[in-house]
Amino acid sequence: MILTEAVNLTAGLWAVRDREHRHLMPWVPTLNLYFPLGCLAAWKAIYEVVTRPFYWDKTSHGLFDHTPDETEAEITRALQSAPSAIIALHKVSAISGRAAALPTGRGDHAAPVTLLGKIG
């Protein structure tokens, strides 16, 4: 068992030996905590697939208190101020999942596009 842990530590240190990753060397011993937690998470996922196959245990990252109309207005404003529009579109589409009107470049006409979710 001690030999196995020594091999794990050696492999971790070998992985971060390059100049741009050397700052990670002090964190290599914490992999002994990370790997068992990953195993527990995998067992929890298997359990949830069996007991609740259509449940998604999603982490909540805060509250979103905008109404759908405010969200669509944010999308329109973001798209009119490209190139930052792509970043804002990702941010808003992950929350709204609604249709937005993308400017087509032909006057005031806009093409409806359904935002399907977060990309990337």
Omega prior to 103 cis, within 30 of 0: no
Mean pLDDT of 43-59: 87
Contact 70, 95 (CB under 8 A): no
pLDDT tens per residue across span 6-27: 999 999 999 999 999 999 999 9
Q: What pLDDT does residue 76 have?
A: 74
Q: How sure is the predictor about 77, in pLDDT bands with cuts at 50, 70 and 90?
A: confident
Q: What pLDDT does residue 46 have?
A: 93
Q: In whole numbers, what is the pLDDT of the chain averaged over residues?
A: 73
Contact 66, 72 (CB under 8 A): no
CB neighbour list of residue 111: distance below 8 Å, 6 or more residues apart: 101, 102, 104
Instruction: Phi first, then psi: give them for residue 57, nearest 5 degrees.
Output: -85, 75
Check pLDDT > 60 for residue 92.
no
